[in-house]
A and B are shown apart, each in its own frame.
Chain A
Amino acid sequence: MNNPYFDLLMWARGPGFDIALTILIGGLLLRVVEIVVLSRKKDLAKPKGSPVLQGLKTIFTRSVPRKGLIKEAPVTYIGGYIFHIGFAIAFLFLGAHIALIDDLIGIQWPEANKALIETAAALAVVALIALAWTRITNPVRRALTTFDDWLVWLLSILPLVTGYIAVNRIFGDGTLMMAIHMLSAEALMVAFPFTKLMHAVTFAMARYYNGSIQGRKGAES
């Protein structure tokens, strides 16, 4: 006799994870290498500033919004920050996740307590709902929205919700919910190379290019 829930969990930990990891790493590398190989022409204009340094600097400084912009789109900005920070805390500081990262790359750091992680996750979920709301109500965001945006939204909220349910045994079998949580994260991994989730990696390239173009001219970025 088998426990179908545990079998699902083992599939998620075994073949499911292998498939997701393979697609994630392979697809991600494919897309990044594809961009790098495309390359750009050497800029022949004599630089006024330092393109390289400013490019590198912009990777970080662009995380801070321009003065006055937050009030123009408060939900997008604040919701965006809360989601990203909340998701990062929930992902990076739960003991089970640290054990996973440790297993993958052999590094670890201290865990946070459940109250903090759940607050972060809950805030991230609220932020996602607010962001979805503006996607529907804000004309600019509505016009830009494609299937990709909703898919990514769903794939981002699912691990947060299923993780919360699994840890707190809100409903369903604990083993089943843990399996579903893992599968939802694996869905996110699989979708990563094919969707705008790629920004989580290529933002650094885009910011670097932006900074280097501006930096060559001695302009701010």
Chain B
Amino acid sequence: MTATLERGLNALREQIDAPVASFFTSCVSCGLCAEACIFYKETGDPELTPIHKLDLMRRVWSNEYTLFGRAKSMLGMGHKITEGDLTKWERLVYDSCTMCGRCTLVCPVGNDIAMMIRKMREGMSSSGHAPAELVGAAERHSDYGSPMGKLHTMLAAKIKAAEKETGIPIEMDKAGVDYLVLLSAQEIVEYSDVLPALARIFKKAGVTWTISNEGFEATNVGVQIGNRDIARNLVSMVVGAAEKLGVKGIISPECGHAYQALRWEGPNLIGRSYDFEVVHIIELLDRLAAQGKLKTKGKDHTRLTFHDPCQINRRGGINKEPRRLLDMVADNFIETEDAGTMNWCCGGGGGVGANDRAADLRFKAFNRKKRQFEGVGAEKVVTMCAYCHHTLDEQLELHNMDSIETQGLTEMIGEYLDDEA
């Protein structure tokens, strides 16, 4: 099968529902969404206005989902979508949007623009207009279980190393435990210090857990590229593993879109509710701390700040949890301007980080974070998403700021875990 314009349009047609119709009906073209968009703010390019990025989907809605638009189309006044339009919009829908959702929160009429970008990507991907890197990642993920290829051997090695470091055995594919732990490829490859941290925290808290060889990958390229068939397959791997092992819950690791994919999109992709819970690792750690099962000792005295991952805070609702945890382990924690719900995106999410074409945009967008970090004189940035973490590392280096240390919050909690208590 091959991607075609018609299949792309068909996919767009499938995406239009009452919320989308109400959003397009309500838009007054005020342009305030642009003021919230990191890509517009840092480039000043009016083409990057969020609502403009949805113009093709707006046309489908207008031409096919309104009586007035249908009448106009019949009179030959409908604005049709061409292959050329789709090519032009690739840059707008993939390169310059991380689906961070700041626009969604400032729109005065309440349009959920980020949600519509997710929908529009369905049409873009089905028409063959997704970035090559994301297509490659989707193929690898589907074929080998992870967007970075076959990581089973590497995972086994990292687990062995963690066991060695902590002296705590980590049993793979163990049925009947409390939680199935998922990891993002980024964590397996780049930030595997999270594994020993998890082992120690859970041992202390009395939480039983396992990792499945059949579904350990938390990320979901299908959600990023915008293709629900692929997203469904990928989420099904994990759900299948969880159900097979009979766990009480799945732990969504420090990864933004993975949390969206597993927690919020997953049930809708597979068409049924889960029998188990999906909990973000930071949510769980906060819960354990509240129950007195997570105790720390000592504090980090570095001047540190926290970077909120868009998909976990703004679009995931996990806001106070990381701050409560940080207060346990840091005494020089300072918030940047707009921190929390309206935090500025790192510029790498939503597949932008994997997209070579977007390298320049990503660099420019990071100027915002740069100013914010400089503004508070941060020596260290903590976050709770491995891909934000990765982007921070990449961009801090490119902006000659690599004196600033970065760390995942789980790993940091592990560092200050009170093993004695």
Q: Which of A172-221 contact B (CB under 8 A)?
A: 193-194, 196, 198-199, 202-203, 205-211, 213-214, 216-221
Binding-face segment, A4-12, A45-53, A89-97, A109-117: A45-53
1/0 per residue B1-29: CB within 8 Å of A? 00000000000000011110111011111
Contact A146 B23 (CB under 8 A): no
Is A219 a contact of B317 with CB atoms below 8 Å? yes
Within the assembled complex, what's the spacing in Å between the Cα atoms of A146 and B105? 24
- CB within 8 Å of B: which of A21-50? 30-31, 34-36, 38-41, 43-46, 48-49
Of all chain A residues, which has the CB nearest B110?
A: A207
Name B46's contact: one of A143, A146, A210, A221 (CB within 8 Å). A143
B256-288 residues with Cβ-Cβ distance < 8 A to A are 263-268, 271-274, 277
> Are B31 and A144 in contact, with the CB atoms below 8 A?
yes
B65 at the interface (CB under 8 A from A): yes
A-chain residues with CB within 8 Å of residue B271 when the two chains form the complex: 44
Contact (Cβ within 8 A) B263 A45: yes
Q: Which residues of A are found within 8 Å of B313, using beta-carbon distances?
A: 219
Q: A40-B17, A217-B315 are contacts. A139–B268 as well, Cβ < 8 Å?
A: no
Partner of A35, one of B22, B28, B263, B264: B22
Chain A residues with Cβ below 8 Å from B23 are 206, 209
Residue numbers in A under 8 Å from B109 (CB-CB): 62, 199, 202-203, 206-207
The number of chain B residues with a CB under 8 A from chain A is 61
Q: Is A221 within 8 A of B105, CB to CB?
A: yes
Cβ contact within 8 Å between A35 and B18: yes
A218 touches B317 (CB 8 A): yes
Across the two chains, which residue of chain A brings its CB closest to B16?
A: A38
- Whether A196 and B110, one on each chain, are in contact in the complex, defined by CB atoms closer than 8 angstroms, is no
- Shortest CB–CB separation between residue A132 and chain B, in angstroms? 13
> What residues on A are CB-neighbors of B26 within 8 Å?
196, 198-199, 202-203, 205-206
Q: Which residues of A contact B31 (CB under 8 A)?
A: 73, 76, 138, 140-141, 144
Give the distance in Å from the alpha carbon of A46 to the alpha carbon of B342 in the complex. Answer: 25
B35 A72 Cβ-Cβ under 8 A:
yes
Interface contact A199-B268, CB-CB below 8 Å: no
Q: Determine whether the beta carbon of B105 is less than 8 Å from that of A220.
A: yes
| B107 interface hit (Cβ, 8 Å) | yes
Q: Is B112 an interface residue (CB 8 A)?
A: yes
Q: B106 to A203, Cβ gap below 8 A? A: no
Within the complex, which residue of A40, A49, A220, A221 is in contact with B18, where a contact is CB–CB below 8 Å?
A: A40
**CA A34 to CA B19, docked complex, whole Å:** 12
Whether A210 lies near B112 (C-beta < 8 A) is: yes
For B65, the closest partner residue in chain A by CB is: A38
Contact partners of A35 in chain B: CB under 8 A: 18, 21-22, 25
Among B28, B32, B40, contact of A199 (Cβ-Cβ < 8 Å): B28
| A116 CA / B272 CA spacing, docked (Å) | 58
Cβ of B115 within 8 Å of any chain A Cβ, yes or no, is: yes
Of all chain A residues, the one with the shortest Cβ separation from B61 is: A38
Q: Interface code B302-342, partner A: CB below 8 Å = 1, 0 otherwise?
A: 00000000000111111100000000000000000110011
Q: Out of B18, B30, B52, B314, which one reaches A219, CB within 8 Å?
A: B314
Check B273–A217 contact: CB distance below 8 A.
no
| Cβ–Cβ contact A45 & B35, under 8 A | no
Q: CB distance A219 to B106 under 8 Å?
A: no
| Interface check A80, CB cutoff 8 A | yes
Binary interface encoding of chain B residues 24-54 relative to chain A, with 1 for a CB under 8 A from any of its CBs, else 0: 0111111110111000100010110101100
Report the Cα distance A213→B25, complex, angstroms. 18
Q: A34-B21, A45-B273 are in contact. Are A210 and B107 (CB under 8 A)?
A: yes
Which residues in B have their C-beta under 8 angstroms from that of A65? 106, 108
Interface of A is mostly: helix
Q: Are A209 and B112 in contact (CB under 8 A)?
A: yes
Q: Within 8 Å of chain A (Cβ to Cβ): is B144?
A: no
Report the nearest B residue to A48, measured CB to CB: B317
Given known contacts A45-B268, A219-B316, is B105 in contact with A202 (CB within 8 Å)?
A: no
- Which residues of A sit under 8 angstroms from B28, Cβ to Cβ? 149, 196, 199
- B25's nearest neighbour on chain A, judged by CB, is A202
Candidates A45, A67, A209; contact of B264 at CB < 8 Å: A45
Most buried by B among A67, A196, A214: A214
Q: Which residue of A lies closest to B277 (CB)?
A: A46
Q: Does A162 contact B (CB under 8 A)?
A: no
How far apart sit A179 and B277, CA to CA, in the bound complex (Å)?
65
Q: Are B47 and A143 in contact (CB under 8 A)?
A: yes
Whether, in the assembled complex, B66 has its beta carbon less than 8 Å from a beta carbon of chain A, the answer is yes
B67 within 8 A of A: yes
A62, A149, A221: the one within 8 Å of B108 (CB): A62
A210:B49 contact, CB within 8 angstroms: no
Enumerate chain A residues within 8 angstroms of B263, measured Cβ to Cβ: 45, 217
Complex interface bits, B291-306 against A, C-beta within 8 A gives 1, otherwise 0: 0000000000000000
Which of A193, A198, A206 meets B110, CB within 8 Å? A206
CB contacts under 8 Å to B, within A98-149, are 138-146, 149
Which residues of B have CB within 8 Å of A210? 19, 104, 107, 110-112
Option from A59, A69, A194, A221 in Cβ contact (under 8 Å) with B36: A69
**Given contacts A144-B29, A219-B317, could you give 7 more A-B pairs where the C-beta distance is less than 8 Å?**
A39-B17, A46-B277, A49-B317, A140-B49, A196-B27, A210-B19, A217-B263
Q: Can you list 15 A-B pairs, Cβ within 8 angstroms, ordered by A?
A: A34-B67, A41-B17, A45-B265, A67-B342, A142-B46, A143-B52, A198-B26, A205-B25, A205-B26, A206-B22, A206-B26, A210-B104, A213-B112, A214-B315, A217-B316
6 tightest Cβ-Cβ pairs between the two chains A and B: A207-B110, A218-B317, A219-B317, A44-B267, A209-B19, A205-B22
